[in-house]
């Protein structure tokens, strides 16, 4: 337990700092001109699209932690990172600068015209996002493998510092007067600068590790994955992430077709940001578990850790959701108007199971990655999307509830079904770890 906790704490702190980005950006945007439209543009259009484009490279962290055992494997994975990033960046520019933007945002997502227009420049500003995310996740995987977890936390602190600096400059210098910077544009600028700063630091921090600690050959004599073997390992992970992140624009598309469109789209990123702060503690577990499972006795300690973390998250969330603390957060801290704060508080009740389910998913996914049985992770995401689509479809057909409530109810039910599928598919691997 002590070993797991020491490895988890720096990554949990890093994820928590990253999770603070969305609440901070939302709080600033909510206090600028036209807050409902700008919040909807940033949180329901710009970020979901940027996340879907970067989806194929998100799992580079797990891949790098697992596969960067020696210099040849490291060099090969680095080339893969940069080639894939270049292709995805070109796709981002194609979407931001061509009529494809109207097809996706106005047509597929069904965003209201004022939201679509507010999001266009911000999406273009987010162009460096994908390459920076890929580069820093690849570097962080190597750092984690060789025990430099604290470097991940430092990088995230620098990222948050850069984000706060850009927000401060935008707020105090460029906000005033007619034609000043809009909330969505400022949010995208801050996020892009923060991620780029973290990527640069991760590259500089990794240099001495590659020079002094990365062996010329795998000490255990394992051959690095190449070609079809690498594709069989990584493609299910990439497809899994892509399918999972499709849930965000799918949620936007569904909410846009249900009652209370603009309020729901405006509040959606605020509640998501709040929930993500608690989800982040589970996300930090994945790479810790992948690395720990190579050591004897890890299974029992990890299961105990998962149970205790779920219990702690459940207690904290129930206290917040069942008291006035949630309204205090959404109105006083996040800057929402009282009526939007009430909408957010009720929406939070539907979302409370998500962080605990994320912890269990991280543990089960780590087991499957360790066993290199990544196909089951993709199957679970397909289950998630099917259930999400069904519940959202019911909300669209009935038109009885605000889109925000339906979206979070759908996410909770879909996450539960996804977790159940992972549990069934990983039983053999978990038993083998005994």
Calculate the alpha carbon distances from 350 to 98, 113, 279, 413 in Å: 38, 29, 15, 10
Decide if 120 is inside a domain: yes
Looking at residue 284, the DSSP 8-state letter turns out to be T
Decide if 16 is inside a domain: yes
What pLDDT does 238 receive? 81
User: What's the domain range around 379?
Assistant: 2-429
Q: In sequence order, which residues have a C-beta less than 8 Å from that of residue 341 and are 6 or more positions away?
A: 327, 330, 331, 334
Q: What is the pTM of this model?
A: 0.77
What pLDDT does 304 receive? 92
Tokens (6 digits) for 255: 């909410």
What pLDDT does 288 receive? 84
Q: In sequence order, which residues have a C-beta less than 8 Å from that of residue 29 and are 6 or more positions away?
A: 35, 38, 39, 42, 183, 184, 186, 187
Decide if 344 is inside a domain: yes
What pLDDT does 295 receive? 79
Radius of gyration of the chain (CA): 21
Q: In sequence order, which residues have a C-beta less than 8 Å from that of residue 25 and are 6 or more positions away?
A: 42, 163, 167, 187, 190, 191
**For residues 43 and 66, what is the distance between their CA atoms, to the nearest angstrom?**
32
Instruction: Per-residue pLDDT tens, the chain, 434 aa: give them.
Output: 788 888 888 888 888 888 888 889 988 998 898 888 998 899 889 998 998 899 889 888 888 888 888 888 899 999 999 999 999 999 999 999 999 999 999 998 888 999 999 999 999 999 999 999 999 999 999 998 888 988 988 999 999 999 999 999 998 887 755 567 899 999 999 999 999 999 999 999 999 999 999 888 776 666 666 777 788 778 877 877 777 778 778 888 899 899 998 899 889 888 988 998 999 888 888 878 887 887 787 888 899 999 999 999 999 998 998 777 888 899 988 888 889 999 999 999 999 999 999 999 999 988 888 887 878 888 998 899 999 999 999 999 999 999 999 999 999 999 999 999 999 999 888 888 87
Are 354 and 415 spatial neighbours (Cβ–Cβ below 8 Å)?
Answer: yes
Tokens (6 digits) for 67: 């596969």
Decide if 409 is inside a domain: yes
What pLDDT does 55 receive? 87
Residue with tokens 């020079």: 211
What pLDDT does 176 receive? 55
**For residues 93 and 109, what is the distance between their CA atoms, to the nearest angstrom?**
18
Decide if 38 is inside a domain: yes
**For residues 401 and 152, what is the distance between their CA atoms, to the nearest angstrom?**
42
Decide if 434 is inside a domain: no
Decide if 7 is inside a domain: yes
Task: Give the chain's domain count.
Answer: 1
What pLDDT does 222 receive? 64
């Amino acid at each position: 337990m002590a070993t797991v906790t020491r490895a988890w704490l720096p990554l949990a702190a890093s994820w928590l700092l990253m999770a603070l980005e969305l609440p901070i950006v939302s709080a600033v945007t909510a206090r600028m001109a036209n807050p409902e439209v700008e919040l909807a543009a940033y949180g329901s259009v710009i970020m979901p699209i940027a996340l879907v484009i970067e989806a194929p490279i998100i799992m580079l962290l797990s891949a790098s932690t697992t596969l960067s055992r020696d210099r040849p494997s490291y060099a090969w994975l680095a080339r893969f990172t940069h080639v894939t990033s270049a292709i995805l960046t070109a796709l981002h520019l194609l979407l931001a600068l061509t009529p494809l933007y109207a097809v996706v945002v106005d047509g597929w997502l069904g965003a209201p015209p004022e939201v679509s227009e507010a999001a266009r420049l911000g999406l273009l500003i987010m162009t460096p996002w994908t390459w920076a995310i890929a580069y820093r996740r690849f570097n962080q995987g190597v750092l984690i493998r060789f025990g430099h977890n604290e470097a991940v936390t430092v990088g995230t602190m620098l990222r948050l510092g850069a984000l706060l600096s850009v927000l401060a400059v935008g707020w105090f210098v460029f906000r005033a007067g007619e034609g000043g910077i809009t909330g969505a544009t400022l949010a995208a600028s801050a996020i892009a600068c923060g991620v780029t700063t973290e990527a640069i630091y991760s590259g500089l921090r990794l240099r001495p590790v590659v020079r002094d600690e990365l062996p010329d050959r795998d000490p255990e004599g394992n051959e690095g994955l190449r070609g079809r073997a690498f594709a069989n390992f990584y493609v299910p992970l990439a497809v899994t992430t892509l399918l999972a992140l499709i849930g965000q624009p799918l949620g936007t598309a569904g909410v846009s077709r249900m009652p209370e469109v603009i309020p729901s789209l405006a509040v959606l990123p605020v509640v998501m940001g709040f929930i993500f702060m608690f989800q982040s503690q589970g996300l930090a577990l994945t790479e810790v578990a992948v690395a720990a499972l190579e050591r004897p006795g890890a299974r029992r300690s990890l299961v105990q850790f998962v149970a205790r973390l779920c219990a702690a998250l459940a207690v904290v969330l129930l206290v917040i959701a069942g008291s006035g603390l949630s309204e205090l957060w959404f109105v006083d801290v996040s800057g929402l108007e009282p009526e939007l704060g009430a909408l957010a508080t009720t929406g939070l009740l539907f979302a409370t199971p998500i962080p605990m389910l994320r912890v269990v998913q991280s543990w089960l996914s780590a087991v499957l990655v360790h066993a290199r049985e990544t196909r089951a992770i993709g199957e679970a995401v397909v289950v998630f999307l099917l259930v999400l689509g069904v519940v959202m479809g019911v909300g669209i057909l009935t038109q009885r509830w605000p889109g925000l409530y339906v979206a979070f109810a759908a996410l909770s039910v879909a996450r539960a079904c996804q977790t159940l599928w992972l549990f069934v598919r990983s039983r053999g691997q978990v038993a083998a770890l005994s």
